[in-house]
Amino acid sequence: MTNTQLLKIAKDFESPVYVYNSEIITQQYKRLTSAFSKVEKVKVNYAVKALSNISILKLMKTLGAGLDTVSIQEVQLGIAAGYKAEQIIFTPNGVSLEEIENAAKLGCQINIDNLSILEQFGTKHPNIPVCIRINPHVMAGGNTNISVGHIDSKFGISIHQIPHILRIVENTNMNINGIHMHTGSDILDIDVFLYASEILFETAKNFKNLDFIDFGSGFKVPYKPGDIETNIEEFGEKLSVRFNEFCKDYGKELILAFEPGKFLVSEAGQFLAKVNVVKQTTSTVFAQIDSGFNHLIRPMLYGSQHEIENISNPKGRERFYSVVGYICETDTFANNRRISEINEGDILTFKNAGAYCYSMASNYNSRYRPAEVLWHNGEAHLIRKRETFDDILNNQIQIDLEPKKVKA
């Protein structure tokens, strides 16, 4: 998309607004599947939590992706988008047995990550196929907020508890058809992921009737010019060789599965916001926009960096700005960032806004969630309307609080 096209979207659909480019999503999907073209059976399950708009799910379906879901509501979204339940894997954390049973009744692939639920589910439903999520105790990315495979993580069953898993499986005679891990986001070192994969292979040897091994995802995408990213082609080449060797030793062609979210949609998304005020203080020039962490919380939540460009004045002289929001909290998107000269009314774009951005949006300060637009086949399509005041009031119930009159 060009700056002219983005500015027109901001005008036609108002700001702030999220914009996603279907062509980039398609390119990323093809890039990932091509990297593993030497493996006979590959399955990409899109991580719905990254960006759950139903039109995005429909796009993933046209590409051939399955879905990785973490809540029964995400499962229902997938079915509403046209997916069959068997194309959906359910990978929750800390949910009730009842929610897992509801997903199983629909026909989803169940993925369990704790011993208690594994034993309860296996006792009640020994014939329903179950995948087991392990924690390999491998730190990926260096940030404990987005790394979920380290020893203190709440996710997965520890590799040191494999004997417990085997005892439960033997006692319940349950059907284990998959082994899964997810080390977390922003994997920089391929060798670290390959090391974790060896742990997964060793675990898989304990189960004789597997259909698939799920290696999770967490591939690093570039967030600024010159930023490092996971070399997915090199990773695909190395893991494919090892996976094929394992299948040969195992005596069966297994499915190699992944569950990418950020890798598929992050670079496809941009967030457009208008500058309300340019505020000079004694030490800083603030560019205050018509948004805040109610729309884009990632920079405040775990320090993510989004490249910011002034598309209203892209060739202007660069100055240093701190870009902040209109929320009555500290909502700083960037400190002392070099950006083309900003004037009130200019439109700024935040790059890499496709993953974990709208999906984390809220109504804090009673602000409306923004619209979402999909750029597809050279046209802008509205895929979510901007909220209105009616949406704020929708589920609220006003009760009568007038004092009761006391009879004389």
Q: Where does residue 293 rank: exposed (0-12), middle (13-18), buried (19+ CB within 10 A)?
A: buried
Pull the structure tokens for residue 141: 């990315």
CA distance linking residue 353 with residue 39, whole number of Å:
32
H or E element in which residue 233 lies? helix 232-250
CA distance linking residue 33 with residue 42, whole number of Å:
7
CA distance linking residue 201 with residue 4, whole number of Å:
50
Contact call for residues 49 and 298 (beta carbons, < 8 A) = no
CA distance linking residue 367 with residue 327, whole number of Å:
9
Torsion of CA 241, 203, 195, 47, to 10 degrees: 80
Which residue matches tokens 């205050």? 288
| 16: helix, strand or coil | coil
H or E element in which residue 24 lies? helix 22-35
Length of the chain: 408
CA distance linking residue 112 with residue 164, whole number of Å:
14
How many CA within 13 A on the CB side of residue 350? 32
Strands (E), 136-197: 157-158, 176-181
Active-site pick, 108, 131, 247, 328 = 328
| Cis peptide bond prior to 314, omega within 30° of 0 | no
- CB count within 10 Å of CB 104 equals 19
328 a catalytic residue: yes
| Position 77, amino acid | L
Nearest CA-CA partner of 21 in 397, 377, 401: 377
Residues with active-site annotation? 328
